[in-house]
């Protein structure tokens, strides 16, 4: 047990490690094994924020599953858009589930007294720029997907009775953490509807997400819940290592 864990037991907090956008490709063998061993020494639980594989290939998921075996603490996570590319996200999720990851989607989880609810999320834009369900059928289908992901997140959060909860997403719920990306693509980096879902609850202490590789690390929902962009490239720039550690 490390010093941080001893201190946390005293104040009831847990240390959450969060990382997104591993983008495991077929050339990534054992790339994250040492990192997961290291995380297991310094954190109580790890959250994976999607884009775990590069194309959602079976072999990529199996390679990540191998690396996850080095992880000795609970793993929760969501898939990202890249994990959908081969059209078999269920297969990717099942392989990662077999390797010990609790795949959050509709189903929330409680780890050491802290609730975790998560969805991939979807795009659609932020604030006044949010796309509305109006006009062509194709736009309504698109917006429905965004609404549906936010509804799943809200439902999962509602099932949690813990006094502390964390929302795990792939897409961003706020504009703050996509700043640094080209302005033209902001609407494709996340959706305010996810923040609206988070803000309906008083027990959410943090939101972690990925996807915006050149975004900003820190932000807040309109009601002030801290949001962290844990895409590994963002965290690396901020902290000099690919994962962040949060006290929850
Ligand atoms: Fe990514
Ligand atoms: Fe992504």
Distance in Å, CA 216 to ligand 2 centroid:
15
Q: How far is the CA of 230 from the centre of ligand 2 (A)?
A: 12
3-state secondary structure at position 112: coil
The residue to which tokens 């305010």 are assigned: 192
How far, in Å, from the CA of 163 to the mean position of ligand 1? 31
* Positions of the chain with pLDDT lower than 70, given as ranges: 1-11
Asked whether 79 and 52 are in contact (CB, 8 A), the reply is yes
Span from the CA of 13 to the centroid of ligand 2 (angstroms)? 30
- How far apart CA 204 and CA 225 sit, in angstroms, is 7
213 CA distance to ligand 1 middle (Å): 6
CA of 171 to the centre of ligand 2 (A): 7
The Å distance, Cα 206 to ligand 2 centre, comes to 20
What pLDDT shows up at residue 28? 81
Q: What is the pLDDT of residue 6?
A: 52
Cα of 177 vs centre of ligand 2, distance in Å, is 14
Residue 12 Cα to ligand 2 middle (Å) = 33
| CB neighbour list of residue 209: distance below 8 Å, 6 or more residues apart | 20, 49, 50, 121, 168, 169, 170, 171, 172, 173, 177, 190, 227, 228, 229, 230
pLDDT digits (tens, 9 = 90+) for 83-111: 999 999 999 999 999 999 999 998 899 99
The structure tokens listed for 106 are: 């509709």
Nearest alpha carbon to residue 198 among 78, 116, 76, 109: 116
Contact, 156 vs 244, CB < 8 A?
A: no
Contact 21, 169 (CB under 8 A): no
pLDDT of residue 27: 87
Roughly how many angstroms between the first and final C-alpha of the chain, as a whole number?
18
The CA 231 to ligand 1 mean position distance, Å, reads: 7
The closest of 233, 135, 213, 218 to 171, measured between CA atoms, is 213
* Residue 243 token pair: 């994962």
Task: Label the pairing between strands 204-209 and 226-229.
Answer: parallel
Q: What is the pLDDT of residue 1?
A: 46
Q: How far apart are CA 55 and CA 52, in angstroms?
A: 9
Kindly give the distance from the C-alpha atom of residue 233 to the centroid of ligand 1, in angstroms, as a whole number.
9
């Amino acid at each position: 047990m490390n010093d941080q864990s001893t201190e946390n037991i005293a104040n009831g907090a847990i240390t959450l490690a969060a990382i997104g956008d591993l983008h495991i490709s077929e050339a990534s063998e054992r790339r994250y094994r040492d990192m997961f061993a290291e995380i297991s020494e310094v954190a109580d639980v790890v959250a994976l924020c999607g884009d775990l594989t590069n194309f959602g290939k079976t072999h990529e998921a199996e390679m990540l599953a191998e690396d996850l075996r080095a992880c000795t603490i609970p793993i929760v996570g969501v898939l990202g858009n890249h994990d959908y590319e081969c059209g078999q996200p269920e297969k990717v999720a099942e392989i990662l589930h077999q390797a010990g990851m609790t795949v959050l989607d509709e189903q929330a989880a409680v780890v050491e007294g802290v609730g975790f609810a998560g969805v991939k999320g979807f795009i659609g834009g932020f604030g006044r720029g949010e796309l509305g369900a109006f006009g062509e059928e194709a736009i309504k289908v698109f917006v429905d997907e965004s609404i549906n992901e936010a509804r799943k997140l809200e439902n999962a959060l509602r099932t949690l009775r813990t006094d502390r909860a964390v929302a795990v997403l792939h897409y961003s719920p706020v504009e703050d953490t996509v700043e640094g990306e080209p302005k033209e693509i902001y609407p494709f980096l996340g959706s305010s509807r996810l923040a609206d879902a988070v803000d309906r609850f008083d027990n959410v202490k943090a939101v972690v997400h990925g996807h915006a590789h050149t975004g900003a690390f820190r932000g807040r929902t309109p009601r002030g819940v801290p949001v962290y962009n844990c895409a590994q490239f963002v965290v690396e720039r901020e902290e000099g290592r690919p994962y962040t550690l949060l006290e929850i």
